[in-house]
Copies of this chain bind each other. A is one copy, B any other.
Amino acid sequence: MLEAVSESEVLASNEAFYDAFNSRDMDAMDRLWAKLAPVVCLHPGSTALHGRTQVIRSWQSILGSDGAPRVSVEGPRVVMLGETAMVLCYERVTDPDTGTGAVLAATNVFVREGGEWRLVHHHSSAIGRIVADEQEPHSHLGRPKTLN
């Protein structure tokens, strides 16, 4: 029962992460990353960012850019590892104007800090493309759940 509660809390933090992305809310994004534990990040196609300063700066750049895409999350699944938790999910990243974009697979790692599940790592990488006029481009991904 305790584990089930933790899982729903972790999923809520995972949702809050993507909500912060879509609403371009840098304050919320900052609060979601751990302050005591070490943090790292692997953006798609990029080398690793180590440390909170580098990671937060990268999100400031992404959220502050014009034409930042919209992300919807599909099939999030939690893996509990005691005081650490991982969420594996798919990100459907689309250009709102064209509907084209990409599907990415993501690993989000959380630790419990100050009573909240906070991010210590985000690794996301492309696994497919979304082309215009595609109706059900990735229905094979399993347990789809569009959060946005």
Contact = CB atoms under 8 A, between A and B. Distances in A.
A71 interface: no
Nearest to A111: B81
A107 B121 CA distance: 9
Interface in A107-148: 107, 109, 111, 120-121, 123, 125-127, 140-142
Interface residues of A, number: 33
A9 to B, nearest CB: 17
Given A40-B77, A81-B83, A81-B109, 16 more contacts: A37-B81, A40-B88, A42-B88, A42-B105, A42-B107, A45-B127, A46-B105, A47-B127, A48-B88, A48-B105, A81-B111, A82-B82, A82-B84, A82-B111, A107-B121, A125-B125
Interface of A: 37-38, 40, 42, 44-48, 50, 77, 79-84, 86, 88, 90, 105, 107, 109, 111, 120-121, 123, 125-127, 140-142
